[in-house]
Amino acid sequence: MKWVSTRRASPPVPFIDALFAGTAPDGGLYLPERFEPLPAPTLERLRSADLVTIGTVVGTHLLAGDISELQMGALVRDALDFPIPLVQVTERVWALELFHGPTLAFKDVGARTQARLLHHFTDGTPLTILVATSGDTGSAVAQAFYQVPDSRVFVLYPEGQVSDVQEAQMASLGGNVTAVAVAGTFDDCQRLVKQAFADGEVRKKVWLTPANSINLGRLLPQAFYYFLVARLRQPPVVAVPSGNFGNLTAGLIATRLGLRVRRLVAATNVNDVVPEYLRTGIYEPRPSVRTVANAMDVGAPSNFERMRAMYDDDLERMRGDVAGAAFEDTRVVAEIGRVYKEFGYLLDPHGAIAWLGLQQVLATDPKALGVFLATAHPAKFREVVEPAIGEAVPLPSTLADALARPRHSERLAVSPAALVDLILR
Ligand SMILES: *Cc1c(COP(=O)(O)O)cnc(C)c1O
């Protein structure tokens, strides 16, 4: 199978090229040339399968010819070594909890699988991964590559500007992970990373690899967990809390592979350019606004281009599959309190937006069942959740352990030469 650019202006490439490229030469994003649905008996078997089996079958199907089922199985077992439970919350609503990985957010699924895919396809050539972070992505990427053979990770973050927990998650690993505290802003970190990638001398000496969120290695594994909703007695409405729309795009991919859902819900905070597109047909990216669900504060969602390409720009067809919904902070916070009180279920701000989007669609569809994706552990957003419910939220052991471990960061001036020294040291 070949992989094609959403802009159709650069040639189709084999998977390995798409995996290491990030964006296509024409600036587009890679998608498979076509989606081949899984055979009906396989889909039936997956309804009762566990996550590792699903990942093995779906992953091998997507990468047919590029990786064996045995290799994919080993890779998925190593990457997805944490549970993704489907938890019943009300008579007709379930939470798919994606936050039980090492950084307690759903990005662990994509980042951990991506790390192992990159390693698999390099045949032992050492990789150097360089990322700039304002907090969350860096900790997920650092944890994802931690102890992956033949890889070294440098995570650049603005000194003093990430949360205590985030710094602990990046700087307490050691081994092949180097945390780099830059005496500057997040933009400085990004600029340093860009300059290193553009440095021909560095690239002669080490194989620099980006680990960004538009990469296929991160996107495709997110299709796996959608198949867990096939356990329910009928295809549900599935609500997805969205920022860059990688998660929702993965849901669309799952349905093209044969998963049956009633509808997907693109749920956002007030950064609502995609729900607006669904409502008006006009797509107008704009600067992002800060909200309580800050992992979704995105004004120009990177994966929207993939969504559009998957529908050949046909708005009506997209509307048939995807409903939009957007919510303000006050509503989100109030709902966290209400749901905790009424159902004893604790939502984080991102999951709460998906829950709200789901309720909106279920209200017009009385026979439907619903699933919302819970993307972060509520303890990661204690400053929002605790006032909403009027109670303390205990820190899970994964976070408490990270906070207790010793930390080490390399300190770096905003200097491309100093970064090169560090990488080549
Ligand atoms: C990144 C993130 C999202 C948004 O996911 P996208 O794939 O960018 O739409 C939602 N919730 C949490 C907790 C996240 O970290």
Joined tokens for residue 291: 């909200």
Joined tokens for residue 133: 């972070």
- The residue whose two tokens read 């006009």 is 282
Lowest mean pLDDT among 55-59, 106-110, 199-203, 259-263: 199-203
413 has a pLDDT exceeding 90:
yes
How confident is the model over 45-58, as a mean pLDDT?
A: 98
Of 261, 215, 269, nearest in space to 107 by CA: 215
For ligand 1, whether the C-beta of 306 sits within 6 Å is no
pTM of the model: 0.94
Lowest mean pLDDT among 68-77, 198-207, 403-412: 198-207
Three-state DSSP state, 400:
helix
- The residue whose two tokens read 């505290």 is 181
Distance CA 119, CA 130 (A): 15
**Among the atoms of ligand 1, which is closest to the Cα of residue 249?**
7
Q: What is the pLDDT of residue 186?
A: 86
Q: Are strands 263-268 and 322-326 parallel, antiparallel or unpaired?
A: parallel
Lowest mean pLDDT among 89-98, 180-189, 320-329: 180-189
How confident is the model over 192-203, as a mean pLDDT?
A: 89
Atom 8 (ligand 1): residue with closest C-alpha?
Answer: 244
Distance CA 179, CA 422 (A): 11
Q: How far is the CA of 251 from the centre of ligand 1 (A)?
A: 13
Q: How far is the CA of 44 from the centre of ligand 1 (A)?
A: 29
Atom 14 (ligand 1): residue with closest C-alpha?
Answer: 295
Q: What is the pLDDT of residue 139?
A: 87
224 has a pLDDT exceeding 90:
yes
How confident is the model over 110-128, as a mean pLDDT?
A: 92
**Dihedral (Cα; 304, 309, 312, 317), 10-degree rounding:** -50
22 has a pLDDT exceeding 80:
no
How confident is the model over 206-235, as a mean pLDDT?
A: 92
For ligand 1, whether the C-beta of 107 sits within 6 Å is yes
Q: How far is the CA of 398 from the centre of ligand 1 (A)?
A: 20
Q: What is the pLDDT of residue 210?
A: 78
CATH fold for domain 83-104+218-393: Rossmann fold (3.40.50)
Local confidence band at 408 (pLDDT 50, 70, 90 cut-offs)? very high
184 has a pLDDT exceeding 80:
yes
CB atoms inside a 10 Å sphere around CB 120: 18
Q: What are residue 116's phi and psi, to 5 degrees?
A: -75, -30
How confident is the model over 365-393, as a mean pLDDT?
A: 96
Q: How confident is the prediction for the chain on average, in pLDDT?
A: 94
212 has a pLDDT exceeding 80:
no
123 has a pLDDT exceeding 90:
no
* Ranges of each domain in the chain: 83-104+218-393
91 has a pLDDT exceeding 80:
yes
Q: What is the pLDDT of residue 179?
A: 96
Distance CA 273, CA 318 (A): 15
Max distance between CA atoms of the chain, in angstroms, equals 62
Beta-bridged to residue 181, according to DSSP, are: 157, 411
Q: What is the pLDDT of residue 138?
A: 86
338 has a pLDDT exceeding 90:
yes
- The residue whose two tokens read 């992970």 is 177
Q: What is the pLDDT of residue 66?
A: 95
For ligand 1, whether the C-beta of 245 sits within 6 Å is yes
For ligand 1, whether the C-beta of 264 sits within 6 Å is no
Q: What is the pLDDT of residue 1?
A: 87
Beta-bridged to residue 86, according to DSSP, are: 96
Q: How far is the CA of 246 from the centre of ligand 1 (A)?
A: 8
For ligand 1, whether the C-beta of 241 sits within 6 Å is yes
Q: What is the pLDDT of residue 124?
A: 81
380 has a pLDDT exceeding 80:
yes
Lowest mean pLDDT among 120-124, 218-222, 302-306: 120-124
Beta-carbon contacts of residue 97 (< 8 Å; ≥ 6 apart): 83, 84, 85, 86, 87, 374
For ligand 1, whether the C-beta of 296 sits within 6 Å is yes
Return the CA Rg of the chain. Answer: 21
Lowest mean pLDDT among 192-201, 214-223, 252-261: 192-201
Q: What is the pLDDT of residue 211?
A: 78
